[in-house]
Structures are given as structure tokens and as C-alpha cells.
Structure 1
Amino acid sequence: MAAPTNDVHGKSGNAAETKNERHNLEAVKHTILVLSGKGGVGKSTVATQIALTLKQRGFKVGILDIDLCGPSIPRMLNVQGSNVHQCSQGWVPVYADREQRLSVMSIGFLLSSNDEAVVWRGPKKNAMIKQFLSDVFWNDLDYLIIDTPPGTSDEHITVVEGLQQYKPDGAVLVTTPQAVAVGDVRRELTFCRKTGIPVLGVVENMSGYVCPHCAECSNVFSKGGGESLAKQFSIPFLGCIPLDPQLTKCAEEGKSFIDAFPSSSSAGAIQDVVKTLLQGGQTLKT
């Protein structure tokens, strides 16, 4: 892996690094973690669509992809293969648009090829996450969206500990309607409560299937599991996003779905999720 000059094995407790970390993250107004109890629920897709929607609303947005073993954000934004450069404040993120209103940092930019596997033990993963949190120069973001790996591992604890002093706004939990996925999100809720991370709400992804020909929505994986969970635990329900072949194609090709298909029901659902997210918490309003 061709990493920048900083040593990912180095300790993060020295004064210079602490000063740099404070500078870089204090330039971010709002930080939102996107969590899921299990893989395959579309967490990265939801994180990307939230970021694109916020950018469309005129905000300056960054995405930090800390899913070290499965970095999919670069492909979804069509920036895979980009190089990470450095400035005096640290790493300069990769911009996904000409206006430089959407920036991305991912382990995918530091790998020699798309097929390279990250075969690391926990300490090295945690060191990399700490470096991502401290050394990326976001340069006055309105929103930083952090796409996390599935589960509640030590990688999540590292992120929470690294963000504590900056008081992140909270977490968006992503589930699918099935009972298995909802059960895993219950454990994610417990993780948030134990670590003091506010829960901003639940998104039920893959909630129905939108036919590309007639636009009718069929409930392939049942419906309502995420909403029921939100009611049970008295947390906000942000909305449902259906399965949509057009959304899948845009994610594969690195295109903005909400720009390409603004009148589709799925784009409307994503807009509603972000609208509810912004309306639900006073701290998120800019």
C-alpha cells in the first residue's frame, strides 16, 4: 500500500498531532456517523445519498470512509484511483465535483489496486482510523458523513473515542425490513447508548422494489421493521428507501442518482430522509 508520508504505526498522543487533530476536526460544523448492525443493508449507499443530497442543498460536505476492508465510497462517487496529496495541515481529501463541495477520504485511495485486500490486525486498523480522524484537512465543512464498517467492533470504539471531544451530532442507523437485520440494529442501538452517541434516527433501506417500467413498489423483503423499531425505542424514524434498479446502476457507475432521476419516487424518498434528519435535530440546522 502506497500511503502518504505519515506513519500509520505511529502513536497519536504527541502534542503536534493533537494540535493538528483539533484544527482539522474543529473546522467541521456537523459530524454524522452512519452505522449498521450487519453488512449488506446498503449502509454505504445511504451514506453516499445523504452526502449528495446535502451537497445539492448547497452545503459543503465530506465523506470519511473508514470501512477499511470494504471501501466502496470511491467507486460510488467515481473517484477510485485518485491520489491523495498533502499540505501543511495534513492530507488533502479527494474532491468528487468540480465545485469542490464534496470531498472524500478512503483507504481505497491508499491501495495499489482495487483488488488489494487489507489484511490487518486490530491495532493497525485503529492506528489508520486515528490518522484519518487527525490528519485529513477538511477545510471548513458543513457536514462530515462517516461511513463505518458493519457491527460494533473496536474500530467503532476508536472512532467514538476520537470524536468525543468534538461532540458529534449523532448516528444514523441503517436497516432493511427483515427481522434479522432489525435484530442487529438493536445491538447497534445498545452500542450508541453505551458510548454516548445520540441516535439521530433509523432509515429502512430496500423497503420495497420499484419496477423500472411501471414504477409500482412491491414489498420484496416485507416492510415496516425499521419503523416499528424506531417506535419501540422512541427514536426518530427518518423514512424508507426502496430498492431501485436506477439507484443501483448510478452507484455502480459513480453517478449522482438524485441529479440523474430527480422526479423518481426513490429520489423523493432520499430527499424526505434528509429533510426529516435536518428537521429532527436543532443542532443539525445550519
Structure 2
Amino acid sequence: MSTQAVLDKNIKKSSDTKLESLSRNIKKQRIVRNIICIFLCIMSLLPFYIMIINSTRPSAAIQQGLSLIPSNQFLSNVRKLIVKSAGVGTPLYKAMFNSLFISVPATFFAVYFSSMTAYGIYVYHFKLRKVAWSFILGIMMIPMQVSIIGFYKFMIQLGMNDSYIPLIIPAIAAPSTVFFMRQYMKTALPLEIVDAARIDGSGEFNTFNTVVMPLMKPAIATQAIFAFIASWNNLYTPSIILSSSTKYTLPMFVQVLRSEQFRSDYGVIYAGLLLTVLPLFVVYFALSKYIIAGVALGGVKE
């Protein structure tokens, strides 16, 4: 065997060894990543699973300790919750309806008008464009707690205290949603499409509603989930604005579960908490397909 052949054989052997070593390292890294992801997934889902299990257990069993096996007391806990809530002033179904009555239009206003605002800042070139964008970013840094006193006084002057209007209409101003939408438009909305629609004679509102909004479905679905969850779980503002017990939202209703009437019945409390988060799961699973479709579309985009 010639020297060149021996050299080529050694090089090939060394290359195969390196490839095998690299393949083993990739497999090890993949296993470690999978283990970490599975662990984090379990840690994220465990509180929800415990809540579901405890909603099916009697109060005495919950006080004895943790269990991962469901019981058969869920319907009994729900019946107790309905009976006891009748004396609070807001039945359970009424509190859920109140939350839906606020969350659905608030989510629509937040997503639609925020998308429109982001579209205007991204597409149109006007003198105060940068100032407007800086103002929106600055508003994101101001928490609601800072302005709540002035907001409440303003609602009293308008005669809108103890009303759902202050909980729905202000959702139009959602700076974080505007920020997300504009950043998404920069990657998913070519200006050539807007120009082509204008050349075809489409009006600005028609272009936005029929051309831009369908392209924004993944971003809209994402922000709709966040907006609905924020509105559904909002306890701070409704507690200040609403004073009539018949107008209580579901988070306000759950807060009543901490009173002496419910405090000792943990099964009823967990059943109420489960009924509180169920609509959030429904909204997420209804909109998650658009998010997955958007991720898949972005993965194949050149």
C-alpha cells in the first residue's frame, strides 16, 4: 500500500471518528434539552393539575395532605358553591357573564384599534411619527396604579362609576399591544402589498380590514389571548369602579371565597378557581392554531 493511500485512510478514519463524536455530543445535548423541557413543562402544569384534583376532593381530604389522584366530589363542590354564592349578591353564573361582558369587547377594542394604530405608525410617514411612537413607548412605563385616582375622579365626573364602560372603552389604549403589532408588521407586512392595494383602488380602511388584518392573524391571536387573560383576571380596576354586588366580575367573586363563609371549605374554593380559569383555556386552545400556523409560516419564509 502506497504512502498516499495510508494517509488517505488515516484521514478518513479520523474524520469518521470526529463525526461519531460530534453525533454523540448532539444526541447528549438533545437528551439534556428534552429533560429540561419536560421538567419545566411538568413544573408549569403541576399547579393546574393540583387545582383540578383538589376541586374533586372534599375539604377534609384536602386538609389532610396532597394527593395526585382525583376524587368524586366535584359536582358536590360546585353545588355548594352555587348555593353559598346566592347569599353573596352575585351568583356564580352572573359573575361569569359579567366577566365575559367586559372581557370580550375589551379584547376586541384592544386588538383591533392597537393594530390600526400600529398600522398607521408603520405605513404612514408624517412629521410627528417618531414623537408619537416615543409617546406610546413612554406610556408603557406608567403603571395603572399611578393614574387610577385621577381616572376614578374623572369617571365620577362623567357619572360612569359603578359602570362597565370604564372597564371596556379604555382598552382601546393598549400601548404594549401597539408595540407588539408594529414589530410584527415590520417582518410580516411588506409595504409593496399596501401600495398594490392602493393602486387597485382599495380605500385605506378596506385595505386595513381585508389585506392587512388577515396577514396579522398570528399576532392578533397572540395579543387576543393576552388581552383576554388580562381583562378576565383584572381585579384591581373593577374593585375600584364597581360597587354594586350584582355587577361583580369573576375575580371579585373569587375574592369573596376568602371570606369566613368559604374559608374552611377548600373544595368549594378550588372548584371556584377551576371555573375561573376554564374560559382562559377555551380561548387559548381556540386561538393557538393561528399562532402555530404563523410560526410554521415564518419557518419556511425566505
The TM tier, using the shorter chain, reads: under 0.3
Q: Which is richer in helix? A: 2
TM-score when normalising by structure 2: 0.21
Q: Which is richer in strand? A: 1
TM-score when normalising by structure 1: 0.22
